[in-house]
Chain A
Amino acid sequence: MGSCHGRVALVTGSSRGLGRVIARKLSEAGADLVLNYRKAGGRSEAQATALAKELVERGSRAVAIRADISHRDEVAAMFQEIGAQYGRLDILVLNAARAPFKGLGELLKRDLLQLVETNYLGNVYCVQEALPLMRGRPGNVVFISSLGSRFVLPNYPLGSMKAAMESLVKQWAMELRDRQISVNSVTAGLLKTDSLMVLRQYWPGVERLPASAFVELEDVAAVVLFLCTEAARSIRGQHIVVDNGFSNELVRPAPVG
């Protein structure tokens, strides 16, 4: 029996990339899953629905729910649906993110609003709405951060939101300590996901970095799962860097070829 048997987990932004791998990992550990995607009618919806179907076929419970976390009413509706379907929530993985790839000087007001509304407000809405469903049992909230929270990259204003969220993680951890809800972040290094396609255009050379500069999605998901187990219950308000050691070294691997 998996370590998450009988628990219900929501992973925001889980139609593809890291969110998808985390959702699958939690499901393999026995959790019932709520998958979330933002846009109706697109490939995300098809992928989230297909994953839900796959998990159900393998014997877990899983549903895909559409909600743009930047809209408070959509977040509220998503949690209402989770309440209706499962009656509870035990694990909340805040993975969804959305950002323009632009320099700070080029950000329009609506770019700034989108940054804050999705990556800060949206995550806060999710935690606020999740708490009533997490009442009376130990729970886990894991925020997916990135090295952008502490190092700068060209055209990556999302990093500042990751830093803001890492700060909130500590605040939530304190506020929720007595409810036995752990709140931590997993600070991921370079991942070979769809987002890498973005990076290679805005950060030339990234596609030529050696394999050792990257971290496997599976390895990040494994740490997320660990933070949701009994063994990790005393880890509170921490930022666990999972980057294959990339950020430790002042001299980073140079692009090859």
Chain B
Amino acid sequence: MAELLISQDQIYREVRKAIADALQIPEEKVQPDSSLISDLAAESLDFIDINFRLEQRFNVEMPRKYLLDHVEELFGEGTAIDDRGFVTAAAVTIWNARLGSAGPGLRAGMSLEEVPALVTPRTLIMVVDEILATRPEACPACGKAAWTVADGGAIGCGECGAHVPLVAGDDVIRRWLEEFRARGGLKSSAP
């Protein structure tokens, strides 16, 4: 992986600000493990607003869809959520493998409606961090390896000024899931 240009602390500061601004609450109320929904009273449209703010800040494309939606699209409907709208054991295996401490608390049998409440600033930090890590070693425009960070946010080429090409958030998730399947991760989740 390329050397870090933006630290997780810096990302956290921006995530915190985006959440506070979107929800119109003081930044002090936002803690790394605050549930955006349960603790901070965010609603689905607020997630989109927060994501939009992070996109502007870091020049990234945040995922449009939840991990479990991607699981179902790639591995088939019913893989992550059963007919009655409950989380499956396979979903928990995939979720934990992917999010680890960035998204604890998913249980088999949980209602899909409860899943968005598991999102915390830590989850968003991980998402941004992963997207930023997809930057190529050298600038495709000028060939120089001279990425710099403008104003704590957007990464650009220090040589020619081009924007860094980053993989979109949804594609980052899809790639991860495909690799997970290729290494047999899905099979080990069978009950």
Contacts and interface: CB of A to CB of B under 8 A. Distances in A.
Interface in B21-79: 23, 37, 41-43, 45-46, 48-49, 51-52, 55, 64-65, 69, 72-73, 77
Interface string A86-104: 0000000000000001100
The SS class assigned to the A binding surface is: helix
A137 interface: no
B41 A46 contact: yes
Given A39-B43, A42-B41, A194-B45, A110 B65 contact: no
Given A108-B72, A110-B85, A197-B49, A202 B64 contact: yes
Contact of B64 (A46, A109, A200, A201): A201
B81 interface: yes
A102 B65 contact: yes
User: Could you say which interface size class chain B belongs to?
Assistant: 20 to 34
A106 interface: yes
Contact of A198 (B45, B72, B73, B85): B45
B167 interface: no
A202 B51 CA distance: 12
Nearest to A202: B64
Contacts of A197: 45, 48-49, 52
Nearest to A43: B41
A128 interface: no
A250 B172 CA distance: 38
B45 A42 contact: no
Interface residues of A, number: 19
B45 A201 contact: no
B52 A108 contact: no
Nearest to A101: B64
Contact of A42 (B43, B69, B81): B43
Interface string B67-102: 001001100010001000100000000000000000
Contact of B48 (A39, A43, A201): A201
Contact of A106 (B41, B49, B73, B81): B73
B168 interface: no
A247 interface: no
A238 interface: no
B43 A43 contact: yes
Contact of B81 (A101, A110, A195, A202): A110
Contacts of A106: 65, 73
B186 interface: no
Given A102-B65, A108-B69, A110-B81, A200 B43 contact: no
A106 B37 CA distance: 25
B77 A108 contact: yes
17 contacts: A42-B43, A44-B43, A46-B41, A101-B64, A102-B65, A106-B65, A106-B73, A108-B69, A110-B112, A194-B45, A197-B49, A197-B52, A198-B45, A198-B48, A200-B52, A201-B48, A201-B64
